[in-house]
């Protein structure tokens, strides 16, 4: 009786482990934490992409508008795929797009923008990645939705797609 | 001559104390970086990684140490940006109660079982 009970317990335990690991195999291995609580945008100074003049965050996000901060780089292939969607979003009057050029060569970045178009109302440079860390970013591409109170309300890790664009449109409505 | 000697001693003292503080900062930096997880790497700390993410974190930690922040304050800054996951040594809070208390409970339960068994054996 005791042996039967032990065997039953072992089988149940192994089945449980199998289910947990099997489910884990299907999960994405990218870590995307949910942002707890509302976070204001960090206070920073960054170099302007076109003029190389230093601008502070208050000046960059000065309008009473929704903002989309998109982290991109010319060497980033997924940035190329999401670029037409950003161009589409830039036509929307109720939102302003800010580009954060991440660890890039300025000439290559300018070529990228000339070739694919400029969806951003302002581009700032993050040549060592520290500004992205202030935003809590992992790499490129990454997109943050900032509301009128300058609070980050949504974060998308990886390239945006049509579904995300629709979600953004709903948020900024 | 005496004044010159005093200046030399002072100069050496200031020079060495500066070196010592640099050494202290380097120690603090490597200790802190070893306890920060590289979130885009597979099982590596920021200290061991050469990824873009890790090198940005290294620069940030360096900057924060130079600004005079303590180890815990740096962890708090990163925790606020990336959540508890970024630190290898998690703090005791409502999300980590089970993590901290489960080993203790298992240890106590194991101890109780062993005690019961020994007690039974002695009775026989």
DSSP annotation of B86 reads G
Q: pLDDT-derived band of residue B15, with 50, 70 and 90 as boundaries?
A: low
Using one digit for the tens of pLDDT, what is the confidence trace for B30-50?
999 999 999 999 889 999 999
Q: pLDDT-derived band of residue A29, with 50, 70 and 90 as boundaries?
A: very low
DSSP annotation of A103 reads S
Using one digit for the tens of pLDDT, what is the confidence trace for A81-125?
999 999 999 999 899 999 999 999 999 999 999 999 999 999 999
Touching A: B residues 35-64, CB under 8 Å: 39-40, 52-53, 55-57, 59-60, 63
Question: Which domains are present in chain A?
Answer: 30-172 (3.40.30.10)
Residue in A133, A134, A135, A138 to test binding to B, most B beta-carbons within 10 Å: A133
End-to-end CA distance of chain A, in Å? 66
- Mean pLDDT for all residues in chain B: 86
Q: Are A143 and A66 in contact (CB under 8 A)?
A: no
Using one digit for the tens of pLDDT, what is the confidence trace for A10-27?
999 999 999 988 888 876
ipTM, 2 dp: 0.76
Q: Tell me if B81 and A130 make a contact (CB, 8 A cut-off).
A: no
Using one digit for the tens of pLDDT, what is the confidence trace for A118-160?
999 999 999 999 999 999 999 999 999 999 999 999 999 999 9
Instruction: Please report, rounded to a whole number, the percentage of residues in chain B having pLDDT higher than 70.
Output: 87
């Amino acid at each position: 009786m005791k042996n039967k009970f032990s065997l039953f317990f072992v089988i149940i335990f192994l089945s449980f482990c199998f289910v947990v690991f099997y489910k884990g195999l299907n999960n994405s291995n990218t870590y995307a934490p949910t942002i707890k609580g509302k976070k204001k945008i960090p206070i920073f100074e960054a170099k302007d992409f076109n003029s190389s003049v230093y601008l502070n965050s208050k000046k960059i996000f000065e309008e009473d508008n929704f903002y989309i901060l998109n982290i991109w780089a010319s060497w980033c292939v997924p940035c190329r795929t999401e670029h037409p969607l950003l161009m589409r979003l830039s036509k929307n009057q109720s939102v302003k797009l800010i580009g954060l050029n991440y660890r890039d060569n300025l000439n290559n970045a300018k070529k990228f923008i000339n070739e694919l178009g400029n969806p951003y109302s302002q581009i700032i440079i993050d040549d060592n990645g520290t500004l992205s860390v202030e935003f809590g970013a992992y790499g490129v591409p990454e997109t943050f939705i900032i509301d009128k109170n300058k609070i980050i309300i949504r974060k998308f890790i990886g390239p945006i797609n049509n579904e995300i664009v629709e979600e953004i449109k709903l948020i900024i409505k | 001559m005496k004044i010159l000697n005093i200046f030399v001693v002072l100069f050496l003292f200031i020079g060495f104390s500066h070196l010592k503080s640099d050494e202290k900062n380097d120690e603090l930096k490597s200790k802190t970086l070893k306890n920060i997880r590289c979130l885009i790497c597979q099982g590596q700390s920021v200290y061991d990684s050469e990824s873009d993410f890790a090198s940005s974190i290294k620069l940030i930690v360096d900057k924060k140490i130079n600004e005079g922040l303590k180890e815990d304050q740096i962890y708090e800054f990163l925790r606020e940006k990336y959540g508890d996951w970024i630190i290898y040594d998690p703090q005791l809070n409502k999300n980590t109660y089970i993590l901290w208390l489960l080993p203790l409970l298992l240890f106590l339960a194991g101890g109780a079982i062993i005690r019961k068994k020994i007690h039974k054996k002695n009775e026989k």
